[in-house]
Structure 1
Amino acid sequence: MNGKVTTTRTKLERGRSALGPALELVHTGRAPTRAVLTSELGVTRATAGAVAAELEALGLIRVDSSPGSAAGSQGRPSHRLAVRESGPVAVAAQVHSDGFRAALVGLGGRLVATAPGCVTITADPAQVIGEVVDDCARLLRDSGLRCVGAGLAVPSAVAEPEGTALNPLHIAWPAGAPVREIFATCVREAGIAGPAFTGNDVNLAALAEHRHGAGRGAQHLLCVATGHRGVGGALVLDGRLHSGSSGLALEVGHLTVNPEGRPCHCGGRGCLDVETDPLAFLTAAGRAPGPEESLLKQSGDLLRNEYDDMAVRVAAEELIDRLGLGLAGLVNILNPDRIILGGLHRALLDADPERLRAVVADRSLWGRSGSVPILPCTLDHNSLVGAAELAWQPVLDDPLGALA
Structure 2
Amino acid sequence: MNGKVTTTRTKLERGRSALGPALELVHTGRAPTRAVLTSELGVTRATAGAVAAELEALGLIRVDSSPGSAAGSQGRPSHRLAVRESGPVAVAAQVHADGFRAALVGLGGRLVATAPGCVTVTADPAQVIGEVVDDCARLLRDSGLRCVGAGLAVPSAVAEPEGTALNPLHIAWPAGAPVREIFATCVREAGIAGPAFTGNDVNLAALAEHRHGAGRGAQHLLCVATGHRGVGGALVLDGRLHSGSSGLALEVGHLTVNPEGRPCHCGGRGCLDVETDPLAFLTAAGRAPGPEESLLKQSGDLLRNEYNDVAVRTAAEELIDRLGLGLAGLVNILNPDRIILGGLHRALLDADPERLRAVVADRSLWGRSGSVPILPCTLDHNSLVGAAELAWQPVLDDPLGALA
TM-score band (shorter)?
A: over 0.9
Distance 1:279 1:53 in 2: 52
Residue 142 of structure 1 and its aligned partner are, at CA, apart by: 0.2
Residue 117 of structure 1 and its aligned partner are, at CA, apart by: 2.8
Q: Assess, with a 3 A threshold, how the Cα gap between structure 1 residues 169 and 402 changes in structure 2: closer, same or farther.
A: same
Q: Secondary structure at the match of 1:235?
A: strand
1:329-358 deviation line (CA, Å, top 9, x unaligned)? 000000000000000000000000000000
Residue 116 of structure 1 and its aligned partner are, at CA, apart by: 2.3
Percent same amino acid among aligned pairs?
99
1:74-117 deviation line (CA, Å, top 9, x unaligned)? 55410000000000000000000000000000000000000123
Residue 67 of structure 1 and its aligned partner are, at CA, apart by: 4.2
Q: Secondary structure at the match of 1:76?
A: coil
Q: Secondary structure at the match of 1:7?
A: helix
1:232-253 deviation line (CA, Å, top 9, x unaligned)? 0000000000000000000000
Distance 1:200 1:70 in 2: 44
Distance 2:400 2:83 in 1: 16
Tell me, yes or no, if the aligned pair for 1:328 and 1:361 is still in contact at 8 Å. yes
Distance 2:100 2:276 in 1: 22
1:209-258 deviation line (CA, Å, top 9, x unaligned)? 00000000000000000010000000000000000000000000000000
Q: Assess, with a 3 A threshold, how the Cα gap between structure 1 residues 310 and 393 changes in structure 2: closer, same or farther.
A: same
1:177-230 deviation line (CA, Å, top 9, x unaligned)? 000000000000000000000000000000000000000000000000001000
Residue 73 of structure 1 and its aligned partner are, at CA, apart by: 5.0
Superposition map of 1:132-281 within 5 A: 132-281=132-281
1:259-286 deviation line (CA, Å, top 9, x unaligned)? 0000000000000000000000000000
Q: Secondary structure at the match of 2:82?
A: strand
Q: Assess, with a 3 A threshold, how the Cα gap between structure 1 residues 356 and 72 changes in structure 2: closer, same or farther.
A: farther
Q: Larger deviation: 68-77 or 324-333? A: 68-77
Tell me, yes or no, if the aligned pair for 1:94 and 1:201 is still in contact at 8 Å. yes
Residue 392 of structure 1 and its aligned partner are, at CA, apart by: 0.1
Residue 65 of structure 1 and its aligned partner are, at CA, apart by: 2.7
Is there any run of 5+ residues in structure 2 with no aligned partner, and where?
A: none
Q: Assess, with a 3 A threshold, how the Cα gap between structure 1 residues 38 and 360 changes in structure 2: closer, same or farther.
A: same
1:39-85 deviation line (CA, Å, top 9, x unaligned)? 00000000000000000000000000314444555554100000000
Distance 2:30 2:192 in 1: 30
Q: Secondary structure at the match of 2:366?
A: helix
Corresponding residue of 1:303: 303
What TM-score comes out, normalization by structure 2 length? Answer: 0.99
Q: Assess, with a 3 A threshold, how the Cα gap between structure 1 residues 295 and 214 changes in structure 2: closer, same or farther.
A: same
What TM-score comes out, normalization by structure 1 length? Answer: 0.99
Q: Assess, with a 3 A threshold, how the Cα gap between structure 1 residues 79 and 266 changes in structure 2: closer, same or farther.
A: same
Tell me, yes or no, if the aligned pair for 1:68 and 1:79 is still in contact at 8 Å. no
1:142-190 deviation line (CA, Å, top 9, x unaligned)? 0000000000000000000000000000000000000000000000000
Q: Assess, with a 3 A threshold, how the Cα gap between structure 1 residues 129 and 45 changes in structure 2: closer, same or farther.
A: same
1:12-45 deviation line (CA, Å, top 9, x unaligned)? 0000000000000000000000000000000000
Distance 1:215 1:67 in 2: 29
Q: Secondary structure at the match of 2:113?
A: strand
Q: Secondary structure at the match of 1:311?
A: helix
1:289-318 deviation line (CA, Å, top 9, x unaligned)? 011110000000000100000000000000
Cα RMSD over matched residues?
0.8
Q: Secondary structure at the match of 1:365?
A: coil
Distance 1:341 1:69 in 2: 39
Tell me, yes or no, if the aligned pair for 1:187 and 1:196 is still in contact at 8 Å. yes
Tell me, yes or no, if the aligned pair for 1:276 and 1:322 is still in contact at 8 Å. yes
Corresponding residue of 1:334: 334
Q: Secondary structure at the match of 2:43?
A: coil
